[in-house]
Amino acid sequence: DPADLDARVRAAKATLGDRVVILGHFYQREEVVTHADFVGDSFQLANASLTRPDAEAIVFCGVHFMAETADLLSGPEQAVILPNLAAGCSMADMADIDQVEECWEQLTELYGTEPGEDGRVPVIPVTYMNSSAALKGFCGRNGGIVCTSSNAATVLEWAFERGQRVLFFPDQHLGRNTAKAMGVPLEAMPMWNPNKPLGGNDEQALTDAQVILWHGFCSVHRRFTPGQIEQARAEHPGVRVIVHPECPMPVVDAADESGSTEYIRKAIDAATEPTTFAIGTEVNLVQRLAAQYPQHTIFCLDPVVCPCSTMYRIHPGYLAWVLESLVAGEVPNRITVPADVADPARLALERMLAAKP
Ligand code: 13P
Ligand code: SF4
């Protein structure tokens, strides 16, 4: 019974008081978000995990890579808890560390490791936040950095100051959309094919590359199409179309704007006149925004609901269970990144946090 669960979460949270902080990603369902002390995009939540060093536990209502990031940034004594361990991210799973290491080995063979005359190294690895801690650690060890959808252009600039090329993973769309907006031509963005070992990839294209893309994508954002945007424009003259940069390039190109989940929220918040917004991102966020801003008409571009099924795995029942366990003195579902991965992964994250906004 939802009311019962809600009461259980409230009671356990009240008993725990300041001992626990609950963080919630924008894509979480309403019954979970309502209990969060802080709701935000992945960049804001990474920062939020630094703000309560006094709390014993950070209960992270989001997906696995976000909880790992919170563990990397929070104090060593603090426990980061993911209410359902099955809440992963299919995009993060698309960049397997062994495949990445193999790619790196081959690129190093092709480019060498010596900096050019301008002091820039041949290639800098950049990983989207939506990746395993192992991959963040790989970036930390190899002069690289992490980005989120809200700072990808800033981070790419950081990388181009230090490297002649960028190897960007896992999301080909965020990489392509961001680099394209910065003026990188599409021909200079070949995609690495991990199924084609040495020789199978086009060496000339890799040599001429400015950004080498990985083949990952988000199965939620891949559903959006330019056709949906055309239809929204036909049915709602004057509609403002905003999409997440994980959408394929033709969708971003057809939209009026693109940006992270916080960008989308802010754009709606800043609209002073009643406006119709067609949004290309996860439906739980779109529905919440529609409820929060009744002066506007806000709908999801995908007419068939478009939820992130793994974000949805954080059911309020799991939230009640982890909080009640904490009350009972147990620490369930703790996410701990092993030290050998944590140190370089933290370095890559700290480079991101220090890169100018
Ligand atoms: P944000 O960086 O906008 O929070 O997006 C995270 C995410 O998983 C999008 O699919
Ligand atoms: Fe991963 Fe896509 Fe879900 Fe974001 S929306 S957590 S990228 S599967």
Expressed in angstroms and rounded, the spacing between residue 207 Cα and the centre of ligand 2 is: 31
* Alpha carbon 172 to chain centroid, angstroms: 13
User: Which of 45-49, 211-215, 249-253 is least confident?
Assistant: 45-49
* Alpha carbon 245 to chain centroid, angstroms: 10
- At 196 the pLDDT is 66
Arithmetic mean of pLDDT over the chain: 95
Question: Per-residue pLDDT averaged across 332-347, rounded?
Answer: 97
- At 194 the pLDDT is 76
Asked if pLDDT for residue 260 goes beyond 70, the answer is: yes
Residues in CB range of 316: below 8 A, 6 or more apart: 2, 5, 6, 9, 29, 31, 32, 35
Asked if pLDDT for residue 198 goes beyond 60, the answer is: no
Of the pLDDT bands very low, low, confident and very high (cuts 50, 70, 90), residue 93 is: very high
Expressed in angstroms and rounded, the spacing between residue 149 Cα and the centre of ligand 1 is: 6
- At 306 the pLDDT is 76
Closest ligand 1 atom to Cα of 43: 2
Question: Per-residue pLDDT averaged across 161-171, rounded?
Answer: 98
Assigned CATH for 221-300:
3.40.50.10800
Q: Residue 293: what residue type? A: Y
Domains of the chain, residue spans: 2-87+311-337, 93-219, 221-300
- Residue 239's nearest CA partner among 248, 247, 229 is 229
Domain 93-219: state its class: alpha beta
Q: Is there a shared CATH topology between the 2-87+311-337 domain and the 221-300 domain?
A: yes
Pocket of ligand 2 (CB under 6 A): 63, 89-91, 130, 218-220, 282, 308, 310-311
Q: Residue 249: what residue type? A: M
Assigned CATH for 2-87+311-337:
3.40.50.10800
Question: Per-residue pLDDT averaged across 59-74, rounded?
Answer: 97
> The pTM is what?
0.95
Of the pLDDT bands very low, low, confident and very high (cuts 50, 70, 90), residue 127 is: very high
Asked if pLDDT for residue 133 goes beyond 90, the answer is: yes
Asked if pLDDT for residue 150 goes beyond 80, the answer is: yes
Task: Identify which of 169, 219, 243, 261 to mutate to test ligand 2's pocket (most ligand atoms within 8 A of the CB).
Answer: 219
User: Which of 162-166, 240-244, 282-286 is least confident?
Assistant: 282-286
Placement of tokens 């140190």 in the chain: 343
Q: Compute the distance between CA of residue 337 and CA of residue 110 in angstroms, rounded to an integer.
A: 32
Question: Per-residue pLDDT averaged across 129-146, rounded?
Answer: 98
Of the pLDDT bands very low, low, confident and very high (cuts 50, 70, 90), residue 202 is: confident
Task: Identify which of 25, 41, 63, 173 to mutate to test ligand 2's pocket (most ligand atoms within 8 A of the CB).
Answer: 63
Taking a C-beta distance cutoff of 8 angstroms, is the pair 176, 215 a contact?
A: no
Question: Per-residue pLDDT averaged across 208-216, rounded?
Answer: 96
Q: Which two tokens stand for residue 341?
A: 């991965």
Asked if pLDDT for residue 89 goes beyond 70, the answer is: yes
Pocket of ligand 1 (CB under 6 A): 41-42, 130, 148-150, 218, 246, 260-261
> pLDDT of 4-55, one tens digit each?
999 999 999 999 999 999 999 999 999 999 999 999 999 999 999 999 999 9
**SS in 3 state form for the chain?**
CHHHHHHHHHHHHHHHHHHEEEEEECCCCHHHHCCCCEEECHHHHHHHCCCCCCCCEEEEECCHHHHHHHHHHCCCCCEEECCCCCCCCHHHHCCCHHHHHHHHHHHHHHHCCCCCCCCCEEEEEEEECCCCHHHHHHHHHCCCEEECCCCHHHHHHHHHHHEEEEEEECEHHHHHHHHHHCCCCHHHCCECCCCCCCCCCCHHHHHHCCEEECCECCCCHHHCCHHHHHHHHHHCCCCEEEECCCCCHHHHHHCCEECCHHHHHHHHHHCCCCCEEEEECCHHHHHHHHHHCCCCEEEECCCCCCCCCCHHHCCHHHHHHHHHHHHCCCCCCECCCCHHHHHHHHHHHHHHHHCCC
Of the pLDDT bands very low, low, confident and very high (cuts 50, 70, 90), residue 357 is: low
| φ/ψ (deg, to 5) at 59 | -95, 115
Residues in CB range of 259: below 8 A, 6 or more apart: 149, 150, 242, 244, 245, 267
Which ligand is nearest the CA of 170, by number? 2
